[in-house]
Structure 1
C-alpha cells in the first residue's frame, strides 16, 4: 500500500541535506525569548534579529501590550465564533472603522490573518467568467486565492506593466471582469511595484486593481498607506489588502475599498465566514499600534534610514544585495552550497536572517533575506554588516574587502 506521505520523500531528502550541511534546521529556529524588538535569545545566545518583518518595532509597543491586557480582562480571550455568527464584537467594528479612516476608504473587512485576507478577497471577487492577472512573483496566499476561485488565471512578468497590458489586450472577453493583483513591496526580494504604471493599465483596459500592501503598509507613502500612496494613485486602486503582522506587530489582515459591494463580499468570502474571528486582545492591540504608528511618523523615516544604511553596507563589502532600497533586503548567493554554511555561520556569530532556497526563490538562486526595523540602532546595523563580512569570508561565499569602519 502506498504511504500517504510518499509525496514528501523529495522534500524530506532535501531537508535532510540542508540539515546535514549546516548542523541545524533553518526552518525550525526557536526564539527562546524576545529581549527587545531587535534582540532575541536563540540557542542560548543574544542574537540580532534581522528576519522578523517587525518593521516599526511595534510588537513590543507598551501601548499595544496595555491595550491587549485591558481587553482580555474586559472581554475574555476569544470570541469562539466567526464574524458572521457571534464573532463580531464592538471592538472589531471599531477597528474596521479605524482602518477604513486611515486609508480614506468607505469600508474595511478585518480577517483573522493576512493570508486569509488575500485568500478570501481574491477567491470571492474573481468568479468563473472572470480573469485574474497575477504578477509572476506573487505571494503564496495570492496564488492560493486564485486556486480557490474559479477564475481563469494569467501570469504576467514581474513588475512589468507593459506585459500586463499586452496580456489583457490579447483577451477576447469583453464581457468578463478582469482583476489585476500586485504587491506594494515583494516580500522575498524587497522590489517595489510601479503602482502608478499598473494603475494606468487598469484605467485604460477597464480592469480592477488589487494591491497587497502587506510589506509596504506603514513603510511607504507620506502617511504609511503604502506603495499606492507613494505613487499618488490611491484613487485608482479598487482594493487594498494587507496584514497587521508586519508594521503593526500583531496578527490579522484587512481589505479596504470604496466599493459599496464590499458588504456583500462578507457573505461570499469563505475564509471570512468559516473561521473564528480575532480575539479581543489582538483587536485592541492592533488598534493601539495603528494609533501609535500614526502619531510617530519618525518611525517610518528612521526605518528607511536604517534600510539605506544596511543596503549600503552590504554593497560596500561586496555582497549582491537587492537593487532597490526597502526594509526587505535580499542578499543573493550563487549556490545552495554557499548559502547554507553562510546562514549557519551568521546565526553562530549572532545574526538571524531568513534562508530562502530554490525553487521558492524568484530566479532559482538562494537568498539570505534580511528585514530592517526602525528600532535597530546604527551600531546594530554596523555590527550585522561586519558579521556578514566575516561569515562570507569564512565560508567562501564572496571575496570580501576590508572590515567596515563604523561611521
Structure 2
C-alpha cells in the first residue's frame, strides 16, 4: 500500500532535524493569555508581540468588543447556514455597507475568510479558456483560486513591469484576461508598483484584481491601501481584503464597481457552500471598519514605528527585505533555517515574539524573521525591541 504521507518525508526530516537541536518549536507557540494588541503571556512570561498582523490594534478596541457582545446577546453564537440560505443576518448586510462606505464602491461581498475571498472570486471569474497573469510571489490563496478555476496561469517575475508586459503581449486579444497583484507582499513587506502595472494591464484589455490584505487600514490617505496611495483605485476592477489583519477579527471580502458584481453571490462556490460568519464577528468587523476610516493618527504613528524599527535594525547590521520601510512588515533575512530558529528562540527568551518564515512559503528560499508592527506599539516598546534584537543577534552570531 502506498503511504500518502511519503511526499512529505523531506519536510518531516527538516522539522525533526531542527527540533533535535533543542530549539522550541517555532510553529507551535501557545499564547496563554493576550493582555493587549501588543503584549501576551507566552511560555509563562510577558512577551511583546511583533508578529500578529494586528496592524491597527483593533482587537481590544472597546467599541469593537461591545459590538460583538451585543450581537452575541441578540443573535446567538452562529448562523448555521450559508449566505444564500439562512446565513444572512442584518449584521452581514451592515458589514457590507461599511465596506462600501470605506472604499466608496458600489459592491461588497463578505466571505468567511480572506482565503475564501481569493478562492471564491478568482476561481469564479477565470475559467479554463481564460488567462491569469500573476506576480510569482503571490499568496497561496491566490494560487489555489487559480487552480480551482482551471485557468491558464502565467506568472511573471516579482514586481517586474517589463516582464508583465511581455506576458500580456503574447496573449490573444479576445481572450479573457485577469491580472492579479498584491498591494503589499506579506513575506518581505514590499509594495507593488500599481501605478505602472494597472494602466499596463488595462492597455492590453485585462481586468485587474488587487489583494490589499496587508495594506488596508493604514496605507493611503483613507486607509484604502496601495491602490489609493498610488492613485489607481478607480481603475482596479476588484479589491480583495481580509478582516484578520487591520480589522482585527476574521473574515474576507471583495469590493468592486463592476455592474454585474452581484451575480458572484450565486455562482461563487466558496461563498455559496460555506457557513456564514457568526453575528458577533461581522458586528466587530463593521464597527472596526467604521473606525478605521477616521484613524489618521494611528496611521501616522504606525509609519513612525516602521521607519524607526527599520532604521534601527539596519544600523545594527541586520539584512532586511527592503532597502527602505514600505509597510508595517519588516523582514529580517537569516543565513539559514537553523540560524533563523536560534535567533527566533533567543528573541522569545528576551520577551519578543516574531514570525519565523521558511521555504517554500518564502521567496528565493529565504529564511526570514518577519516583524509586523502595530499602531499601538509605544515608542518605548520599539526601543525595547531594538535592544532585544541587538542582544539576541550578538548571542547567536547573526550580527557582529
Alignment TM-score > 0.5, same fold = yes
State the distance in 2 between where 1:104 and 1:142 align: 25
**Which runs of 5 or more structure 2 residues have no equivalent in the other structure?**
none
Deviations 1:106-145 (A, max 9, x none): 1100000001001111001101111001101000000110
Q: Could you list the structure 1 runs, at least 4 aligned residues long, displaced by more than 3 angstroms after superposition.
A: none
92-101 or 64-73, which moves further after superposition?
Answer: 92-101
State the distance in 2 between where 1:347 and 1:67 align: 34
State the distance in 1 between where 2:20 and 2:46 align: 25
State the distance in 2 between where 1:65 and 1:226 align: 25
Q: Report the counterpart of residue 294 of structure 1 in structure 2.
A: 293
User: In 2, are the aligned partners of 1:49 and 1:353 still within 8 Å (CA)?
Assistant: yes
Deviations 1:228-269 (A, max 9, x none): 000011111000000011001011000000112111111111
User: In 2, are the aligned partners of 1:84 and 1:273 still within 8 Å (CA)?
Assistant: yes
Q: Aligned runs of 1:179-328 on 2, under 5 Å?
A: 179-323=178-322, 324-325=324-325, 326-328=327-329
Q: Report the counterpart of residue 67 of structure 2 in structure 1.
A: 67
User: In 2, are the aligned partners of 1:22 and 1:340 still within 8 Å (CA)?
Assistant: no
State the distance in 1 between where 2:382 and 2:374 align: 10
Q: Report the counterpart of residue 42 of structure 1 in structure 2.
A: 42
State the distance in 2 between where 1:5 and 1:148 align: 23
Q: Report the counterpart of residue 25 of structure 2 in structure 1.
A: 25
Q: Report the counterpart of residue 373 of structure 2 in structure 1.
A: 372
Quote how far apart the aligned CAs of 1:22 are: 4.3
Quote how far apart the aligned CAs of 1:177 are: 1.0
Q: Aligned runs of 1:95-134 on 2, under 5 Å?
A: 95-134=95-134
Q: Report the counterpart of residue 390 of structure 1 in structure 2.
A: 391
User: In 1, are the aligned partners of 2:168 and 2:201 still within 8 Å (CA)?
Assistant: no
Q: Report the secondary structure of 2:369's partner residue.
A: strand
User: In 2, are the aligned partners of 1:21 and 1:341 still within 8 Å (CA)?
Assistant: no
Q: Report the secondary structure of 2:133's partner residue.
A: strand
State the distance in 2 between where 1:257 and 1:296 align: 23
State the distance in 1 between where 2:340 and 2:187 align: 15
State the distance in 1 between where 2:199 and 2:119 align: 25
Quote how far apart the aligned CAs of 1:295 are: 2.7
State the distance in 2 between where 1:120 and 1:357 align: 27
Q: Report the secondary structure of 2:48's partner residue.
A: strand
Deviations 1:19-73 (A, max 9, x none): 2234221111111100111000000010010000000100111111000000010
Q: Report the counterpart of residue 168 of structure 1 in structure 2.
A: 168
User: In 2, are the aligned partners of 1:22 and 1:341 still within 8 Å (CA)?
Assistant: no
**Is structure 2 residue 353 aligned with structure 1 residue 356?**
no
State the distance in 2 between where 1:244 and 1:157 align: 29
RMSD (Å) for aligned C-alpha atoms: 1.0
Q: Report the secondary structure of 2:36's partner residue.
A: coil
User: In 1, are the aligned partners of 2:173 and 2:204 still within 8 Å (CA)?
Assistant: no
Q: Report the secondary structure of 1:176's partner residue.
A: coil
Task: Give the TM-score taking structure 2 as reference length.
Answer: 0.98
State the distance in 2 between where 1:237 and 1:360 align: 27
